[in-house]
Amino acid sequence: MSDKQRQVLDLLNEDCRIPLERAALMLGMDIQEVAEIIDTLEKERVILCYRPVVNWDRTQRTVVEAMIEVKVTPQRDFGFDAVARRINSFAEVRSLYLMSGTYDLLIQVTAPTLKELAQFISERLSPLETVTGTSTSFVLKRYKQDGVVFDQPDEDRRLSISP
């Protein structure tokens, strides 16, 4: 990755809705150049999508969320990738990571109700033949996600004027 690509990514990471014109101004590049860099990053699947970080607690929508530690038996020739692909296909799975340590996969799942989440684990995840064990922890409160602190008052602790 070039330094210019890194700079574009840093800026988009702060605010992916930044107008192209302002991004170009802040980066000292021309608009066309920034557009081309973003286009390349999208085509190369470095940038996969643009989504808001939502604090669902501030909405009427209730979501049950859990982290599931999963032990699996890696498959010959495919390792963990085959089972990961299978788990990826479930709509409830929001994130999936291969981990070092005492378990193999970490799955972040969401479901509308506790019952539906339980059904996902017992009827869809656990029966997979390569899954040898699961341990589920429910998310009680979200403090920070993707570098964004939830419920942080928008305060500047600095004096409004200083020399």
Partner 1 sequence: MSERFINPAISAVPPSAIRRFFDIAGTMKDAISLGVGEPDFVTPFPVRNTAIESLLDGETSYTSNAGILPLRQEIAWYLRNRFQLDYAPEGEVLVTVGASEAIDIALRALVRPGDEVLIPEPCYISYQACTLFASGVPVPVPTHAENDFELRAQDLEVRITPQSRVIILSYPSNPTGAVMPLERLREVAALAIQHDLFVICDEIYAELCYEGFEQQSIATLPGMRERTMVVSGFSKAFAMTGFRLGYLCAPRAIVAACARIHQYTIMCASRQSQVASYNALKQGRETKYADVARMRESYDRRRRLMVQSFRDMGLPCFLPRGAFYAFPSIRHTGLSSEQFCERLLHEQQVVTVPGNAFGPSGEGHIRCCYATATDKLVEAFVRIARFLDTL
* Residue 27 binds to partner 1 (criterion: CB under 8 A): yes
Window contacting partner 1 (CB under 8 A); options: 21-29, 49-57, 113-121, 125-133: 21-29
Contact yes or no for 57/50 (Cβ under 8 A)? no
Q: What whole-number distance in Å separates Cα of residue 34 and Cα of residue 7? A: 10
Question: Can you tell me which residue has the tokens 């929001």?
Answer: 94
SS3 call for 102:
coil
Please work out, in degrees rounded to the nearest 5, the angle formed at the alpha carbon of residue 11 by the alpha carbons of 151 and 42: 110
**Site residue total, partner 1 (CB under 8 A):** 18
Beta strands 105-111; 64-72: pairing state: antiparallel
Query: Of 1, 20, 25, 54, which one interacts with partner 1 (CB under 8 A)?
Result: 25
Query: Of 26, 54, 139, 148, which one interacts with partner 1 (CB under 8 A)?
Result: 26
Query: Of 1, 10, 94, 133, which one interacts with partner 1 (CB under 8 A)?
Result: 10
* Residue 11 binds to partner 1 (criterion: CB under 8 A): yes
Question: What distance lies between CA 119 and its chain's CA centroid?
Answer: 23
CB of 31 to partner 1, least distance (A): 13
CB of 82 to partner 1, least distance (A): 39
Q: Which amino acid is at 115?
A: K
Using the minimum distance from each CB to partner 1, give the nearer residue, 11 or 106: 11
* Residue 9 binds to partner 1 (criterion: CB under 8 A): no
* Residue 158 binds to partner 1 (criterion: CB under 8 A): yes
Please work out, in degrees rounded to the nearest 5, the angle formed at the alpha carbon of residue 35 by the alpha carbons of 32 and 36: 85
Q: What whole-number distance in Å separates Cα of residue 92 and Cα of residue 94? A: 6
Query: Of 13, 14, 99, 114, which one interacts with partner 1 (CB under 8 A)?
Result: 14
Site for partner 1, rule CB under 8 A: 7, 10-11, 14-15, 18, 22, 25-28, 156, 158-163
